[in-house]
Amino acid sequence: MRTPDEWKNDAQYVAIVQDLLAQPAVQKLANYTQHHHSNRLRHSIAVSYDSYRIAKRMHLDYRSTARAGLLHDLFYYDWRTTKFDLGSHAFIHPRVALRNAEKITNLNDKERDIILKHMFGATLAVPKYLESLIVSLVDDYEAEHEFFSPLRVRVESRLRKRSYKKLS
C-alpha cells in the first residue's frame, strides 16, 4: 500500500507531471471535495500515480497515463448538486475535463482518450487504449478507497482493541 505522498519521492513521475501540477487550474482542484473524504487534487494525483506505476510495470505509455490521469477530473463544480440537461455527470464531466485540459497543455490522442473514457462502465465510452482502461479501473479503485477509508480505519481500530483485550 502506498502512502499519500509517496509520489513526491518518485523523481521520474514528478518530472512527467510537474508542469501540470504548477498550473493554477490544477491546483484549484484542491478546493473541491471528492468522494466525501478527499479533495479532487489528491484524488487526481492518486489516480495518476497508481496508473503510472501500473502502466510502467506493463511497459506501456506511462507518460501519457500519468499526465491524463492527473487531468481526468479537471472540472470545477460539485457533481452532487450541479445537474445538466445534456446528460449525467458521468457523461458530461469527462468532456468538461478534456476541454479544460486542452486549455493548459497539448494532449496527444491517447491522453484525450484516457480523459474521455475514464468513466467506462458508468458510460458506454469504450477505451481505445489499454492505458485508458487502466486509468478507468484505478479511478474506480481510488473512489472506493477514498469513500470507505474512514470506515475501514474505525473497523480496524475496533478489531485491534478486541484483540488486545483478549490478550490481556
In a domain, 145, yes or no: yes
Overall domain count for the chain: 1
Q: Which residue range(s) make up the domain with 27?
A: 6-167
In a domain, 91, yes or no: yes
In a domain, 58, yes or no: yes
Name the pTM for this structure: 0.82
In a domain, 94, yes or no: yes
In a domain, 46, yes or no: yes
Answer yes or no: is pLDDT of 96 > 60: yes
Q: Among all chains, which residue has been given the C-alpha cell 481510488?
A: 142
In a domain, 1, yes or no: no
Q: Which residue has the higher pLDDT, 83 or 31?
A: 31
The CATH number that applies at residue 146 is 1.10.3210.10
For residue 154, name the pLDDT band (cuts at 50, 70, 90). low
Contact between 21 and 104 (Cβ < 8 Å): no
Spatial CA neighbour of 45 closest among 64, 58, 26, 60:
26
Predicted local confidence at residue 102, as pLDDT: 98
Predicted local confidence at residue 48, as pLDDT: 97
